[in-house]
Amino acid sequence: MSEAFVIGIAGGTGSGKTTLARRLKEDFDDDVILLCQDYYYKSNNDLPFEERVKLNYDHPNSFDTALMIEQIKKLKAFKEIERPVYSFVEHRRLEETVKEQPKKVIIIEGILLFENQELVDLMDIKIFVDTDADIRFIRRLERDTKERGRSIDSVINQYLNTVRPMHEAFIEPSKKRADIIVPEGGMNHAAFSMIQDKINSIINGSAKK
């Protein structure tokens, strides 16, 4: 292979895209690399915590997309990277980084992967995980209260003020760029099996770009 194969998995918050991506990573273990768009949130260290909390984290400008593109290009060329680490508790990028070694298959996942054309152009397969809004909201509420220490009121206010409007403005329209639309994400066993087969063919050298 002259370049690594890139699979992009996008979808709204709570859609199940992360579950799908992590299941694939667990299934193939050391044969694939998983990059999350969440790693590439801008740090905003110049702002106090009280101001960082108020930022719109569902807008394309909240991500350091240029860095993500640069690092995916390196991985495609089979070069290692030092990817950033982001803290959702502190709402900032940490000083530490994680070294990622190149693999034949790169899986990237995130809410706004298909919004940026240069990012889309790096992907060989584009998968959009499509899940009803009420299910997505419930999943986000559970995640943010249990895993990120958020209050119920703050999650609801953020959803109404930024998450839902940004989904309608950027994420839902980006669905038209997908090659495959998967209902319900990681629990869609038929779709998961088909993606497994594709990755197996790439790793074993029988797939064509």
pLDDT in tens, the chain (209 residues): 789 999 999 999 999 999 999 999 999 988 999 999 999 999 888 999 999 988 999 999 999 999 999 999 999 999 999 999 999 888 899 999 999 999 999 999 999 999 999 999 999 999 999 988 999 999 989 988 988 888 999 899 989 999 999 999 999 999 999 999 998 777 788 999 999 999 999 999 865 55
Is residue 60 one of the residues assigned to a domain? yes
Report residue 162 as tokens.
Answer: 């930024």
Number of domains present in the structure of the chain: 1
DSSP E strands in the chain: the ranges are: 5-11, 32-36, 81-87, 92-100, 105-110, 125-130, 180-183
Is residue 102 one of the residues assigned to a domain? yes
Q: What is the mean pLDDT of the chain?
A: 92
Is residue 38 one of the residues assigned to a domain? yes
Q: What percent of the chain has pLDDT over 90?
A: 77
Is residue 162 one of the residues assigned to a domain? yes
């895209």: which residue's tokens? 17
Is residue 209 one of the residues assigned to a domain? no
CA separation (Å) from 8 to 111, 153, 200?
11, 32, 16
Q: Look at phi and psi of residue 26 and say left if phi exceeds 0, alpha if psi is from -120 to 50, else beta.
A: alpha
Is residue 71 one of the residues assigned to a domain? yes
The alpha-carbon radius of gyration of the chain (Å, integer) is: 17
CA separation (Å) from 78 to 71, 85, 101, 132, 204?
11, 21, 8, 38, 17
Is residue 208 one of the residues assigned to a domain? no
Q: Which domain holds residue 146?
A: 5-201
Do 100 and 75 form a contact (C-beta atoms < 8 A)?
Answer: yes
Is residue 79 one of the residues assigned to a domain? yes
Q: State if pTM tops 0.85.
A: yes
Do 151 and 30 form a contact (C-beta atoms < 8 A)?
Answer: no
Q: State pLDDT tens for residues 196-209.
A: 999 999 999 865 55
User: The CATH number of the domain where 188 resides is what?
Assistant: 3.40.50.300
C-alpha 19, offset from chain centre? 10
